[in-house]
Structure 1
């Protein structure tokens, strides 16, 4: 019980700030996870933190801001031999054929920011929070200017009531607090994957089907 009213005045603004932030996120011990089981006797080849078996199975290993250089690519890839290393990386993260990963502007931006640490209120490559990452990506890749934190962004979108409606560029929202108030936002990519600034691992791609995100999923919306 707080007896001094002076202390109460200090605590209330801090609580209000935290409710709209992305600070309450996935525990740090979950920053490295295995997306599929790998054979014990299989030799692995690493591409920027992605372990690839010869059967195409992958596991995700966090590296510290060690990104794959992206060079210019055509609008389509006719064969796997023409694909670049970054395309293999994101094909594995999204669980898509490498020939389908051709959006150089989008993945170039994600690669440039990959692993940038989380910082509440941050908006630079030294540290960024979830809403500022969303606002920055939407402006740079889709030429859509957004402003505000996760709660304010939720109020700006047209709500999508079914997960099957999700398309590239839609926003996905999570309520990771006891009051079930929107506190985190990311951008939907494809195949149930979304990119976001996580407090545990910085800028990364996660799977909406993971139990953690299923538990806290609060809805999605499309920019009008």
Structure 2
């Protein structure tokens, strides 16, 4: 069976055109150059700093913005994320300090020394005792240390806070990676933050 469609009615100047089931749109004349000149059509007025940054963003910024669940424009510390990229996936090895294997405090010491140019050494307990200021989870900033008491009464794990509750560390299960402080496991063992 063939359905016959009605022929469209001819369009008349100044009349409304009916499309589907009573949906209408008013007919209007095209603007002249004089009309356009009288309106503010400055495109640069609508370009914000963040949209300009987004257009110039690098692939590493997109990657880490996605991992941290933050806007691309907020991922700015190239030195930090380049360091993480170089060490990403390095397996955990107690006492290790090479790309063949590294432990949590070795990774934190190396990151702080390389990226933030601060002289830092020691295991997680020593780092906890070395911080100048204790910081709550809600007051953490990029570069702060995050400490955990995992199956111990004392500090047994350390990482570096990044942004949006995310931190980088050398985990025993997956090596150097980014984790979330809001994950039940990390939330359960979180012992506090520290600022150098």
Question: Same fold, TM exceeding 0.5?
Answer: yes
Give the one of 128, 144, 155 matched to 1:182. Answer: 155
**Secondary structure of 2:91's partner?**
coil
Distance 2:59 2:82 in 1: 12
Higher relative contact order (CA 8 A, sep 6+): 1
Shift of 1:162: 2.3
Give the one of 157, 162, 170 matched to 1:197. Answer: 170
Aligned residue-pair number: 147
**Number of the residue aligned with 1:141:** 115
Give CA deviations for 1:88-134 in whole Å, capped at 9, x if unaligned. 11001111111221211110110011111100000001100000000
State whether structure 2 residue 77 is matched by structure 1 residue 99: no
For 1:118-137, list aligned pairs within 5 A: 118-137=92-111
Distance 1:101 1:168 in 2: 11
Q: Provide the aligned C-alpha RMSD in A.
A: 1.5
Distance 1:153 1:107 in 2: 22
TM-score relative to the length of structure 1: 0.63
**Number of the residue aligned with 2:190:** 217
Shift of 1:86: 1.4
**Secondary structure of 1:109's partner?**
helix
TM-score relative to the length of structure 2: 0.71
Rg: which structure is higher? Answer: 2
Shift of 1:146: 0.8
Distance 2:54 2:135 in 1: 37
Give CA deviations for 1:15-38 in whole Å, capped at 9, x if unaligned. xxxxxxxxxxxxxxxxxxxxxxxx
Alignment check: 8 A CA contact 2:147 2:155 kept:
yes
**Secondary structure of 2:79's partner?**
helix
Distance 2:100 2:135 in 1: 36
State whether structure 2 residue 60 is matched by structure 1 residue 86: yes
Alignment check: 8 A CA contact 2:135 2:195 kept:
no
**Number of the residue aligned with 2:129:** 155
